[in-house]
Structure 1
Amino acid sequence: MDRVMDLDARPHRAFIAIAETGSFSRAAAMLNISQPALSAQLKEFERRLGFRLLDRTSRKVSLTIEGRLFLDRSRRLVRETEWANNAARDIRNNQLRVGTAHYTAEIAERNRIIDDFVAEEPDVPLRVMRRSAEQLRDDLDRGDIDVAITLQLVPPDDAPARADAAPSWVVAERAVTLQLPHDDQLACGADVLPAAALRGRAIAMIDRSHGVAIAESVGKAIIDAGAEARTLPEGDARAVLRQGARLGIAAIDLGWFVPPCASVVRRAVAEWTVRTRLVAMANPGRRRAGTDRFLDRLRRMTPPS
């Protein structure tokens, strides 16, 4: 077979059409070509492969053993060429690519940014690429995405700025709090709890899916309060809230997600200073054409950080 990639996969499509219809005439009509042209195309394809795909008689067309073995391969190749064509079209259209941490799909502020842009800038082709928190920075540095939207730990006021930091905008900020069952004795008191009230308690803890810095800072706050960090089957913040509510235990609440049910309450902890922010970061290098229009909207919403 030729090594040059066939972005149309015509011989494979022809073979599939004949195999699925069982007829050269019906396949030719489906592909909108003449029957002699289809027969010649299939014959040349078999010559290049080095084996027959079909048995032809005056009354029917059937797959050879080799044809049955090769049919699934042809179907996969056709799907791959369709994906390649879609990718080529995206590149030709200079598509804007926004990478988002996978868990941000349930954050209202993130959705508002993207949905408003789609509605108000319909001429800019936009693709949202979901990634892990760790992948986003690498993709941004390589230029695979133009903008990254993710959660970050709010650094201390005296923390030095990174020399290689990408331009970024803080969309919103939230304090880390505690979700409690509504019948918990701590839920019946003040809106702000002293950390000492958590001593000896089990608190459902998030994992590192939101970033190492966030997880470590939250874990330290739990330990400093004398509480016990409890690991649940799922460790992303939304799942921790859901499973914590189901188990009737306290759970870490990053503040970005809708409560899983009406039978829980949110309480701040006086000594907890951990905060997270929803940040949009831009590739400082070459950008696709639609990126500047996306960033203009971010600039109008919030000043750069």
Structure 2
Amino acid sequence: MWSIGELAERAGVTVKTVRFYSDRGLLPEGTRSTGGHRRYGPDALDRLQLIRSLRTLDLPVPQVSRILDERDSLEDVVAGKLQQIGSQLAALRWQEAALQLLQDCAPEERAERLRLIGAVAVPPSTAPLARFWRRWLPPRLPARLVHAIVDQAVPQLPEGPTPTQVLAFTRLHAFVTAPCPGTGQGRQDQPAAHGPDGGRPAVLYDGLGEAYGLAARQLRAQRSPHEGEALDCFVAAYARSRGTRDTPAFRHQLSGVLAADPRIDRYWELTAELTGPSQPTPGVTHDWLCSALNNQTAQAAS
């Protein structure tokens, strides 16, 4: 059996450290000497070294105690610690880019940029963007369809944002948290497809997802708007939702309806600044398809 000083020397720690862990029940003593002094066996050295290793990971003493008593699993604690550190690193990367944004801008821009940055949580969250889309979409869409649309429309935040991306996201956050005129009584600034005479929005959005995917391929190939499978799929989605056929007359009418629809181009512009040009946004693909439709109807009328 070792005295507290001998154990401290073997472990390379101070007597005060051994006493601290003993007093908190992390390091049970083996016995007491006739004089009442603590004595520890060899197993105490292994336990003390394990305690030091866990504390090196910045785990608090109560959590170390739960691991030693097997009330918490080490795997779960490590996973939680990694998640915590990941969140801290994301916050630091965001703050670094935000500071660079403020440092590099002109003095007259600084107050506005500081206001935009101050309105966003750290680390930033895309939850306000998801809420915006749930308000914008027509009511009574199936939950699986709402989830798919929101997942496609809400951009993923970069792990290491640049100052330009920070500015784009803060402006995007300001856009989606501003009062949305299309969510009040009558939904007056919503697309026609969201209104009572818009047919079956669920059928429409199911078809639009496929059409946008086809158009995205054309955009990545840098092809200008043209007739073809993507446009046919796009028009067919609107025709099915209205329970009608895809005819030249319907395409002409649809071109006019889409031209009059309210737009959220600013959302898609900022999203593109945030994600980069490699992946076309749904807004860009929608514009490509509308242009293809307009070109076709214009040629048919000439």
State the TM-score bracket (shorter-chain normalisation): under 0.3
Structure-2-length-normalised TM-score: 0.25
Q: Which has the higher contact order (CA 8 A, sep 6+)?
A: 1
Structure-1-length-normalised TM-score: 0.25
> 1 or 2, which has the higher strand percentage?
1
